[in-house]
Amino acid sequence: MATASRASAGSATQAVSRRGGAGIAATRRLQRFGTVGALLIGAAFYILPLFWMASSSLKTGGEVFAYPPQWLPSVPQWHNYATAFQQMHFPTLLKNSLLITTTTIIGAMLSSSMAAYSFARLRFKGRDIWFMIVLATMMLPGYVTMIPVYIIFRHLGWINTLKPLILPSFLGGGAFYIFLL
């Protein structure tokens, strides 16, 4: 009889643990559903402006500024892309973007890595003071230096050229990159 009561108690314990396991699984499914739902809402938050931009690129001028806004154009205007490529001199813009990007990356990597190496590995007089000065420049807002930098570029004759966008990256690359490396 003792074995029979033990068997029935064991089956009762198994039944309770099964129900508890089902409850845990249901809770996990609910948590997963909530997580996926939050991620979908976040994705929509980021995708809707991209969809609006693509939709607006296919609208006429009147449809873009219509109130209430329409999500889809009545008749897609595919010639808008051809017009944009013809009027904006796309090959020149692409060439300038690639030139600025590649040379800036190369300049920042070369100069920042050398400066960071010298601060991290070399021992020289005033190293800590210079490093503190570099870090202090990170705390200056860009607005503070905008006018003096413009005056310097004007005196150098760099206004309306690509030089102000490229050459400063070869002169340290910025305090953040030095600190990061």
The secondary structure of 111-132 as a DSSP string is: HHHHHHHHHHH---TTHHHHHH
Res 16: pLDDT: 47
73: alpha, beta or left? (left if phi > 0; alpha if psi -120 to 50) = beta
Tokens of 141: 């807002």
The contacts of residue 77 (CB under 8 Å, 6+ apart) are 58, 59, 60
pLDDT at position 14: 53
> What pLDDT does 61 receive?
81
Residue 174, number of CB atoms within 10 A of its CB: 17
In the chain, which residues have pLDDT < 70? 1-21
pTM to 2 decimals? 0.60
The pLDDT of residue 19 is 55
Write down the pLDDT at residue 117: 93
DSSP-derived letter for residue 160 is: T
Measured CA to CA, the distance from residue 59 to residue 76 in angstroms comes to 6
**Residue 11 has what pLDDT?**
52
At 127, list the tokens: 């190293």
